[in-house]
Amino acid sequence: DAGVTQSPTHLIKTRGQQVTLRCSPKSGHDTVSWYQQALGQGPQFIFQYYEEEERQRGNFPDRFSGHQFPNYSSELNVNALLLGDSALYLCASSTYRMDRTDTEAFFGQGTRLTVV
C-alpha cells in the first residue's frame, strides 16, 4: 500500500504565478483534505473534497481552489501567489462512512512550496 502520495515534493514559484499541487489518496479512501503548514506553525485546514465536490472549507481566500477526480485523486490550485503562501501543503485522505463520519485521516509527506 503506497499510502497518500503527493507531488511534487518541492516547488519554487514567483509571486503572482499560479501553482497546482497533486494528491493521490490511500487505497480505498474517497475523501481528501488539504492543509497549509507555515514554518513554525501547525497545519491549517484549507478544504475537503468528497464525491468530486468541496464538502468543507476553512478560512482561506478564493485564490485557493481544488478539484477531485473520479479516481478520488485531488488537486490544490493557488492563484496569484503571495510570499505568504510559502508553506508545506499537506494532503490527508480518509473514507466517508455510511453513518456520515470520516475514518482516521492519513497524511502524505507534503509539498514544500516556496514563493519568491
Partner 1 sequence: AQSVTQLGSHVSVSEGALVLLRCNYSSSVPPYLFWYVQYPNQGLQLLLKYTSAATLVKGINGFEAEFKKSETSFHLTKPSAHMSDAAEYFCAVSPYYGNNRLAFGKGNQVVVIP
Query: Which residues contact partner 1 by CB under 8 A?
Result: 4, 31, 33, 35, 40-45, 48, 56, 58, 90, 92, 94, 97, 99-105, 107-110
Least separation, in Å, of the C-beta of 31 and partner 1? 7
Of the pair 4, 81, the CB lying nearest partner 1 is at: 4
Residue 53 CB, nearest approach to partner 1 (Å): 15
Note the Cα 41 to chain centre separation in Å: 17
Nearer to partner 1, 5 or 79 (CB): 5
Question: How is 16-80 classified by DSSP, letter by letter?
Answer: T--EEEEEEPPTT--EEEEEEE-TTS--EEEEEEETTEEEEE-S--TTEEEEE-TTS-EEEEE-S
Element (H, E) at 89: strand 87-94
Greatest CA separation for the chain:
45
- Taking the least distance from each CB to partner 1, the nearer of 13 and 58 is 58
List the grid coordinates of 98: 455510511
**Shortest separation between residue 77's beta carbon and partner 1, angstroms:** 20
**Cβ 82 to partner 1 shortest distance, Å:** 21
